[in-house]
Structure 1
Amino acid sequence: MRPFAHIPTIGTPRVATGVPHFLGEGPTWDPVRGELLWVDIMAGDVYRGRFAYGGGIQIEERIAFPDTAGAVAISRAGEMVVAGTHRLYFRAVDGTVTAGPEVIGGDERRFNDGKPDPAGRFVVGTKGPTSEEQLVRFETDSRVTVLDDDLSLSNGLAWTRDGRLLYSVDTLTRRIFVRDYDPESGKAGARRLFSELPGDGYPDGITTDADDHLWVAVWGGGCVVRYSPAGEPVGRIDVPAPHVSCVTFAGPDLDTLVITTATENLTDEQLVQYPLAGLLFTIRPGVRGNHPHLWAGAASRLAPTSLEGTE
């Protein structure tokens, strides 16, 4: 039985794109230009798209970066920051790409999911072979602050509507954490357990809605689950792809939930069984999302070659 099979369903998503991704991830709404951004991590590609009739997404551009593209964020001016394998990459409005210095190392280690915080600082985690993976924040004054350094696989991030709570995912332990967060200073409190997923599914990308419920993409579970602020699952969206990787609210009214999926680690038999795996999906679940945080931009491009101590 699928995990969360007992939770009421919210609706049926529709296919939004025709291009399958090996590891589609990180959908991000750009409210300034009215576009959706997302990544195909291992291909190192960032996609730009616009909503079309009926909830479809028309791909406008595929932008190749030098190595992996774990996450993308955009500034008000239109600059992009992309989490590469060991460093950040920056794409200017004119399309010029520059590389930041190497911040992490290791052949099997890379940056993974990331988002701007309420003040526009870029927060991003790492994926690697150890149980000492990190969640770090790139400050606007050239420092990098370590928020966590004991994770199995740092993944999804989301803030409450007022920015005072930060949710974060440690995928391989199936745990979702929450902590107090000062949206201005970035001071973060001690993390505490919000929820631990049952069964075979793993929490991946997350987002919050205007009612401060948390939406969780369940990798290996073929669904998205909505959690109440108390940590109780209260709704489910079944997706015709086993590896559901991330979610975000998008569109001018922030009333469309965009769901990314992946073909990574699927067998030949599973690819036949799930021909829609790797595509993007959309659904209007009857609630709106929160206004997306924009990256602070060029002022935060500087980064040291080593990390500072845990906050």
Structure 2
Amino acid sequence: MSAYAHIPSLGIPRVATGQAHFLAEGPTWDSTRGILLWVDIMAGVVHTGRVLSGGAIEQVERVPFPDTAGAVAVSRAGEWLVAGTHRLYTRSVDGEITAGPELLEGAERRFNDGKPDPVGRFVVGTKGPGGEQLLQIGADGTVAVLDDDLGLSNGLAWTRDGRTLYSIDTLSRRIHARDYDPATGETGERRVFLEITDEYPDGMTIDADDHLWVALWGEGCVIRISPDGEIVGRVDVPAPHTSCPVFAGPDLDTLVITTATEGMTPDDLAAHPLSGRLFTVRTGHRGIYPNLWAGTPAALSLEETA
């Protein structure tokens, strides 16, 4: 029985896509163009789709990048910023992909989850052998280190006023919080907001009431957490490796949940045949508009690669 069985259910999700991904992650809603974006990290692919009224997701594009694709962000103009293995890539509105300078080293380390902050800086974490980082990359390409002692940097979310940053360290099972100044990018001291005792917190989003929604890898569940740190709701998913939620759709009232098949045996896949798909559910709650990336390829000193 799930450790969260006593928590009120917030709806039953439907399977929204037919394709099974190895490691679907990082969904984001492009509200300007009405398109959902998500990544399949190890395949190095960014997918786009339309969220239909019944909850299905109609695939629009499948865009490969030169290496892994840990996260994707969108600018107001429609450019994409993609976290590759050791560098950032952009894709222009006409499809041209360019690569930035190498920012990480080590064959076992790569960029992982990342999102723009309230004024458009890109905050992105790393996955590797240990001592992982959370970096803040300015619109002009300057890099600041927010953390350098993480086990696995993962989900990110800012409150509606932008004054608090939540971040997940998956391996320590901790959700951190810190004060955040959107104008300057300066942060306060990191503190433990909540420690998860069952399975591993992965991707995260926030709703219009400043409640966090956290995917629990291995649990097949997304939990809703109040600003006081109380788990107040759950969505059970028929795929154990739930990776990240986001609110999408014209009214931001459809919760999209990505899942993965990574680490699953043939017996696991037989028991959970919908693993790797995307799911949608109406929970009665709404999200907030995702932050937009404010940089440009020129500011990041990018060079054309494709």
Question: What is the match of residue 181 of structure 2?
Answer: 182
Question: What is the match of residue 267 of structure 1?
Answer: 265
2:225 aligned to which of 198, 215, 227: 227
Question: What is the match of residue 160 of structure 1?
Answer: 159
CA contact (8 A) 2:140 2:295 kept: no
Question: In the aligned structure 2, how far is the partner of 1:184 from the partner of 1:145?
Answer: 15
Question: In the aligned structure 2, how far is the partner of 1:247 from the partner of 1:293?
Answer: 15
> Deviation at 1:273?
0.3
> Deviation at 1:6?
1.9
After superposition, the Cα gap between the structure-2 partners of 1:114 and 1:85, relative to the gap in structure 1 and judged at 3 Å, is same
Question: In the aligned structure 1, how far is the partner of 2:3 from the partner of 2:180?
Answer: 31
- The aligned length equals 302
Question: What is the match of residue 142 of structure 1?
Answer: 141
Question: In the aligned structure 1, how far is the partner of 2:30 from the partner of 2:298?
Answer: 19
SS in 2 for 1:47: strand
Please say if 1:40 is aligned against 2:40: yes
Question: In the aligned structure 2, how far is the partner of 1:163 from the partner of 1:303?
Answer: 28
CA contact (8 A) 2:139 2:296 kept: no
After superposition, the Cα gap between the structure-2 partners of 1:209 and 1:149, relative to the gap in structure 1 and judged at 3 Å, is same
Deviating more after overlay: 48-57 vs 203-212: 48-57
One-letter code aligned to 1:222: G
Please say if 1:173 is aligned against 2:142: no
Deviations 1:114-143 (A, max 9, x none): 00000011110000012x100001112331
Mapping of residues 115-126 of structure 1, within 5 Å: 115-126=115-126
> Deviation at 1:300?
7.5
One-letter code aligned to 1:58: E
CA contact (8 A) 1:26 1:39 kept: yes
Question: In the aligned structure 2, how far is the partner of 1:196 from the partner of 1:301?
Answer: 38
> Deviation at 1:186?
1.1
Q: Which runs of 5+ in 2 are unaligned?
A: none
CA contact (8 A) 1:26 1:113 kept: yes
CA contact (8 A) 2:90 2:297 kept: no
Please say if 1:98 is aligned against 2:68: no
Deviations 1:150-193 (A, max 9, x none): 00000000001111110000001100001111122111111111
SS in 2 for 1:73: strand
Question: In the aligned structure 1, how far is the partner of 2:253 from the partner of 2:112?
Answer: 26
CA contact (8 A) 2:51 2:248 kept: no
Question: In the aligned structure 1, how far is the partner of 2:119 from the partner of 2:56?
Answer: 31
> Deviation at 1:301?
4.2
Deviations 1:8-58 (A, max 9, x none): 111100111111100000000001100000000000000010012401100
Question: What is the match of residue 202 of structure 2?
Answer: 204
Question: In the aligned structure 1, how far is the partner of 2:288 from the partner of 2:183?
Answer: 17
SS in 1 for 2:145: strand
CA contact (8 A) 1:3 1:198 kept: no
Please say if 1:71 is aligned against 2:35: no
TM-score, normalised to structure 1's length?
0.95
TM-score, normalised to structure 2's length?
0.97
One-letter code aligned to 1:98: T
CA contact (8 A) 2:223 2:233 kept: yes
CA contact (8 A) 1:101 1:303 kept: yes
Question: In the aligned structure 1, how far is the partner of 2:301 from the partner of 2:153?
Answer: 20
Q: Which runs of 5+ in 1 are unaligned?
A: 305-311
Say what the alpha-carbon RMSD is for the aligned residues: 1.2
> Deviation at 1:299?
6.5
Question: What is the match of residue 215 of structure 2?
Answer: 217
SS in 2 for 1:272: helix
1:295 aligned to which of 287, 293, 296: 293
CA contact (8 A) 1:100 1:301 kept: no
